[in-house]
Structure 1
Amino acid sequence: MKKVALVTGASSGIGMETALQLQEHGFQVYGAARRMDRLSNLSEKGIQTITLDVTQEDSMVACVNTILEKEGRIDVLVNNAGYGSYGAVEDVPMEEARHQLEVNLFGLARMTQLVLPSMRANKFGKIVNISSMGGKIVSPFGAWYHATKFAVEGFSDGLRMEVAPFGIDVIVIEPGCIQTDWGIIAANHLKDTSANGAYAISASSAAEGLIKFYTGNSLSKPELVGKTIRKAVLASKSKTRYLIGYGAKPLVFLKRILSDRLFDKVIQIMMK
C-alpha cells in the first residue's frame, strides 16, 4: 500500500519539488495550494491536486477530510505554505503582521492538528515543518517573518516530544537561500511597506539587494530541499533538523560564535 503525503504550498518552488520527489519514490501525493490553476504542472504528472487556504478553517478541514475519505490515511504532512512579509517593524500594519503569523505559524499548527488523529490511529506519521535558517538568524526588515520561523522551531520541538509515543516523528527543514520567488515577494513587501518615511533609504537598498540576489545564479535550487525532505521521510530514523542550502551552515555557525552586536554588523554589511 502506498503511503499518502500531503504537501501544502505545492504550486511552486520547494512545495512543487517536494511533491514530485515523493511521487517519484512511491508516495500517493496530494499537492495543495490556494489556486488550483497553479497546480496544473503537478496534475499533468499524475499528482492529485487539492485546494487549500491555510488561513481559512473550512478550507483546511475540507482538504484533510477529502484526502482521508479517499485514502483512509495521511502518512506524511509537509507544512510548506508560507511567505516572507518584510518591512520595518514601525511601518508594518498589525493586520499584515497577524496575517504573516496566520499563514506561517497558525496555518501550519492547524493542519498538524487535523492530521494527527489519523496518524495516531495508524501509529505512524511524519510531520515535516518548513522553517528556515531565518529561524536561527535574523535580518533587518524581516522581524515579523523571523518571529514566525523562530516560533515554528519551538512549536516543532514541543510537538515532537508529545507525539513520539504514538509513532509520529516531527522533522524541521531549515533552508538557506533557495532559488524561488520568496526573495522577490519579500522585496516587494519591503518596498510597499517602507519605501517612504524614516527607513526609506535603507529599506530601498535592502529591497534592491534582495531582488539582485534572488535573480542571480548563486542560490541553491529547490530540488535540493525536495530531495532532503524525501530522504528525511524515508529514513527509518530521521534527524530532527536539516540545515541546508546556500549560506545556511556558515551563517548559523557565525551566529553561534559571534556576539549579538558583532553578528548584527555582519548582517548589516551583507544587506547593503
Structure 2
Amino acid sequence: MTTKPTPTSVLITGCSSGIGRACALRLHRAGHQVYATARRPDAIKDLAGAGIHTLPLDVTDEESMRAAVAEVEAAHGSVGALVNSAGYALSAVVEEAELDEVRRQFETNVFGLVRLSRLVLPGMRAAGSGTVVNVSSIFGRYAVPGSGYYNATKHAVEALSDAMRLETAAFGVRVVLVEPGPVRSTEFGAKYVENVRNLKLAGRDYEEFRRQTVDYFNAIYGGGRRTLAGTFAIQSDDVARTVERILRTARPRARYPVGFLAHSTLALRRLAPDSVFDNLFVRRLFPVPRGPRS
C-alpha cells in the first residue's frame, strides 16, 4: 500500500463517546498528534490523562470552533487532518418532529461540519496537503421510516463531501467519507432510543410504530441479537481503524463503507430498483408504520 507521512496534527470532533473517542485513542496510539474535542471538557478528561491534547469544541458554536482551529494551527501551521465525527440522530416520522428540533439536527450534523471544514481548509490549501474525513452513515445513501431527518443530514454530508473532494483536490487536500453500519453500545444509540421514547406524537397512528422502533434499536445498540442489524452491528473501533487506514493512504477512495451491513446493503441499493429495495429490504428489516386495520 502506498503511504504518506503521518499528519502532524489531527483534530477530531465528538470525542466524548463512540466513534470520535475511538478515533482519538487509536490515532494517538498510531503516533498522530491528536486534538480530541467535545462540548463538555469533563467528558474527555481521561483522554488528556492518556496524553491526548483536549479542547472544548461545540459544532454549533462558531467561537469555540475558531479557537480550537487556531490553537492547532499555532502549534503545527495547519490542521493535518480533520475528522468530523460529532453528530446525533433525531427520530421522528416526517410529520411529527418540531421544526426547531429539525433545525438543531441540521445545525449539528451538517452546518457544524461545514463551518469547521471551512475553518481548516485555508490552512490545508496553504500547506498543500490535508485530509478531511467526514463520518457519514449507510443512511447517507438510503432512508428508513422514522429516521428521515437524520438520514437527510447524512445525505447532505455525502453531497457536500463529493463537492469538497473535487473543489480541493488540486490543492493537495483529500476529502473522504466513512459510511458505518449500526455501531453497538454507543451513547449515540442510547440517545436515539431516548429520543424515540420522548417523542411527542402527532396522533395515535404512530404509537405502535414507535414501540417497535424502541425495541428494534434497543436490540442493536444494546448488543442484542434479535435483528439482522443487531447481529452484524460493528464496534466504534472498527470505524476508527478505517480512519487510521485513510490517514496513511496517499490516494484514499472517496468512500469507505464499514461493516458487513454497510457493504451488503449499499451494494443492494446500487443494484435494486426502488420498489424491490423498499419491499425486500426496508419493509422486511426495519419497523414500518402500518395503516388502519379493518
TM-score range (shorter-chain normalised) is: over 0.9
C-alpha distance in structure 1 between counterparts of 2:276 and 2:214, whole Å: 23
3-state DSSP class of the match of 1:55? coil
Provide closer, same or farther for how the CA distance between residues 183 and 264 of structure 1 changes in structure 2, counting only shifts above 3 A: farther
Letter in 2 for 1:227: R
C-alpha distance in structure 1 between counterparts of 2:151 and 2:7, whole Å: 36
- Aligned residue in 1 for 2:217: 210
% identical aligned pairs: 36
- Aligned residue in 1 for 2:121: 116
* Aligned residues of 1:133 and 1:243 also touching (Cα < 8 A): yes
Q: Which segments of 5 or more consecutive residues in structure 1 lack a partner in the other structure? A: none
2:40 matches 1:26:
no
- Aligned residue in 2 for 1:158: 163
- Aligned residue in 1 for 2:285: 270
Letter in 1 for 2:283: Q
Per-residue CA distance 1:139-159 (angstroms, 9 max, x = gap): 100000010001110100100
- Aligned residue in 2 for 1:167: 172
C-alpha distance in structure 2 between counterparts of 1:18 and 1:43, whole Å: 14
How far 1:191 sits from its partner (Å)?
2.1
How far 1:46 sits from its partner (Å)?
0.2
Provide closer, same or farther for how the CA distance between residues 14 and 85 of structure 1 changes in structure 2, counting only shifts above 3 A: same
Per-residue CA distance 1:226-269 (angstroms, 9 max, x = gap): 01100101111111110012411111122223222332232122
TM-score by length of 1: 0.95
2:199 matches 1:182:
no
How far 1:44 sits from its partner (Å)?
1.4
Match of 1:244 among 258, 268, 275: 258
Number of residues of Structure 1 aligned to a counterpart in Structure 2: 272
C-alpha distance in structure 1 between counterparts of 2:283 and 2:108, whole Å: 27
C-alpha distance in structure 2 between counterparts of 1:11 and 1:21, whole Å: 14
Per-residue CA distance 1:90-145 (angstroms, 9 max, x = gap): 11000000111111110000000000111111111000000000101211000000
Per-residue CA distance 1:56-93 (angstroms, 9 max, x = gap): 11111111112222332211000000011111111100
* Aligned residues of 1:140 and 1:268 also touching (Cα < 8 A): no
3-state DSSP class of the match of 1:89? coil
2:248 matches 1:234:
yes
Q: Which segments of 5 or more consecutive residues in structure 2 lack a partner in the other structure? A: 1-5, 225-230, 288-294
TM-score by length of 2: 0.88
2:121 matches 1:107:
no
C-alpha distance in structure 2 between counterparts of 1:96 and 1:81, whole Å: 17
* Aligned residues of 2:7 and 2:80 also touching (Cα < 8 A): no
- Aligned residue in 2 for 1:91: 96
Higher alpha-carbon deviation: 88-97 or 175-184: 175-184
Match of 2:84 among 61, 75, 79: 79
C-alpha distance in structure 1 between counterparts of 2:208 and 2:28, whole Å: 46
* Aligned residues of 1:131 and 1:175 also touching (Cα < 8 A): yes
- Aligned residue in 2 for 1:253: 267
* Aligned residues of 2:182 and 2:220 also touching (Cα < 8 A): no
* Aligned residues of 2:96 and 2:202 also touching (Cα < 8 A): no
- Aligned residue in 1 for 2:238: 224
Letter in 2 for 1:270: L
3-state DSSP class of the match of 2:27? helix
3-state DSSP class of the match of 1:247? helix
3-state DSSP class of the match of 2:82? strand
3-state DSSP class of the match of 1:53? coil
* Aligned residues of 1:195 and 1:204 also touching (Cα < 8 A): no
3-state DSSP class of the match of 2:50? coil
- Aligned residue in 1 for 2:152: 147
C-alpha distance in structure 2 between counterparts of 1:253 and 1:118, whole Å: 37
Higher alpha-carbon deviation: 127-136 or 244-253: 244-253
3-state DSSP class of the match of 1:193? coil
